[in-house]
């Protein structure tokens, strides 16, 4: 349902004003978008697929898919309560930082295989 | 109420958004609804396989199994088991927090907890959908790197814990002297 809204109200121009085509910046933005999102991973695949179809780079989409599950800014307060401040902040920060090189590596390896 | 909101809040939010848009701009809202229907029909085959696999997994894998997997603390066996526990665990993350808290109190290391949480990104039952969208080559590379990434995250998180222990031990020893 949200995708219908997304496809109707978010034009390619709006999307490209956010994702400029610069690999590192796009990957960072993809990772940030995934970090602030929450929900079933199915949603991340569907949104990622749509973003890819609309022309967003695979680098950004890969980082987005990764941080959707591994980084959870929305769940962070709960994670801090249950597992401690140090553990939660450290785990989320490391996951966010590593999502960028891992996304780059995924796409580069994919290109090598093609 | 909180639980219901957590589970259905997202859907409820989208429905409210649609209602608002139908009032403001009915034509565009209807177009969006039609497009959503199109996406849903398009996704039905891989999504059905994914949900059947999820249902089977939920039927056979219970939190007690995960708890046993994470209970193994040492060696390569412990690493493999916490990896597997993360991969086969399903459901929202907040549902796992009480179990993780309990396991931590029983002595499960930060390494295994971080490894478990990071490996939750690997979803074998969603592979049909991932392959449908991104192709099998991408899915294969991505999932292998996710497992390696989980090990790296767990190692880095654990390193700081070990450093913290070393610091507290040295402070304790200095106090003893």
Task: State yes or no: pLDDT of B177 exceeds 80.
Answer: no
Instruction: Name the domain count of chain B.
Output: 2
As a whole number of angstroms, the distance between CA A18 and CA A12 comes to 10
Q: Which residues of A touch B97 (CB under 8 A)?
A: 78-79, 82-83
- Domain of B46, in residue numbers: 1-57
- Contact between residue B111 and residue B158 where contact means Cβ atoms under 8 Å apart: yes
What is the per-residue pLDDT for A26?
Answer: 95
- Contact between residue A64 and residue A30 where contact means Cβ atoms under 8 Å apart: yes
- For chains A and B, CB pairs below 8 A equal 132
Are residues B158 and B134 part of one domain? yes
Structure token pair of residue B123: 């979803």
**pLDDT-based confidence at B71, cuts 50/70/90?**
low
Provide the 10 A C-beta neighbour count for residue B32. 24
The answer to which of A88-92, B55-59, B84-88, B131-135 has the lowest mean pLDDT is B55-59
The answer to which of A58-67, B5-14, B53-62, B68-77 has the lowest mean pLDDT is B68-77
Among chain A residues, the shortest Cα distance to B156 is held by A94
Q: Which residues of A touch B141 (CB under 8 A)?
A: 106, 109-110, 113
| Residue of A30, A90, A93, A101 to mutate when probing chain B, most B C-beta within 10 A | A90
Are residues B49 and B9 part of one domain? yes
Are residues B115 and B177 part of one domain? yes
Are residues B140 and B123 part of one domain? yes
Buried b (16+ CB within 10 A) or exposed e, A55-85: ebbbbbbbbbbbbbbbbbeebbeebeebbee
This model of the complex carries an ipTM of 0.90
Are residues B51 and B95 part of one domain? no
Phi, psi of A57 (to 5 degrees): -65, 150
**pLDDT-based confidence at B72, cuts 50/70/90?**
low
As a whole number of angstroms, the distance between CA A110 and CA B95 comes to 35
Q: Of B13, B36, B57, which residue is a domain's last?
A: B57
Buried b (16+ CB within 10 A) or exposed e, A11-46: eeeeeeeebeeeeeebbbbbbbbbbebbbbbbebbb
What is the three-class DSSP state of B1? coil
Shortest Cα distance from A17 to chain B (angstroms)?
Answer: 22
> Which residue from A40, A62, A95 is facing B118, i.e. has the nearest CB?
A95
Structure token pair of residue B156: 């880095």
Cβ of residue B70 closer than 8 Å to a chain A Cβ: no
Task: State yes or no: pLDDT of B92 exceeds 60.
Answer: yes
CA distances from B143 to A6, A76, B10, B149 (A): 27, 24, 27, 10
């Amino acid at each position: 349902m949200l995708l219908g809204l997304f496809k109707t109200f978010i034009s390619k121009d709006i999307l490209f004003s956010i994702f400029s085509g610069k690999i590192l910046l796009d990957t960072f933005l993809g990772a940030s978008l995934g970090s602030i999102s929450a929900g079933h991973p199915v949603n991340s695949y569907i949104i990622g697929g749509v973003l890819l179809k609309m022309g967003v780079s695979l680098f950004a989409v890969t980082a987005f898919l990764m941080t959707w599950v591994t980084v959870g800014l929305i769940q962070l307060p709960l994670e801090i309560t249950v597992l401690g401040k140090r553990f939660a902040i450290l785990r989320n920060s490391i996951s966010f930082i590593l999502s960028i090189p891992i996304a780059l590596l995924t796409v580069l390896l994919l290109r090598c295989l093609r | 109420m909180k639980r219901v909101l957590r589970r259905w809040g997202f859907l409820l939010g989208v429905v409210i958004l649609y209602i608002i848009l139908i009032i403001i701009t009915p034509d565009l809202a209807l177009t969006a609804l039609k497009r959503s229907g199109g996406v849903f029909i398009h996704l039905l085959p891989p999504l059905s396989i994914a949900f059947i696999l999820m249902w089977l997994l939920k039927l056979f894998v219970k939190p007690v199994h995960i708890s046993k997997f994470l209970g193994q603390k040492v060696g390569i066996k412990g690493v493999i088991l916490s990896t597997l526990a993360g991969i086969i665990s399903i459901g929202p993350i907040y549902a796992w927090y009480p179990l993780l808290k309990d396991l931590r109190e029983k002595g499960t290391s930060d390494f295994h907890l971080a490894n478990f949480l990071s490996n939750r990104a690997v979803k074998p039952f969603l592979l049909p959908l991932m392959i449908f969208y991104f192709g099998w080559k991408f899915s294969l590379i991505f999932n292998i790197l996710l497992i390696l990434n989980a090990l790296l995250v767990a190692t880095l998180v654990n390193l700081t814990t070990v450093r913290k222990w070393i610091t507290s031990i040295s402070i304790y020893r200095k106090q003893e002297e």
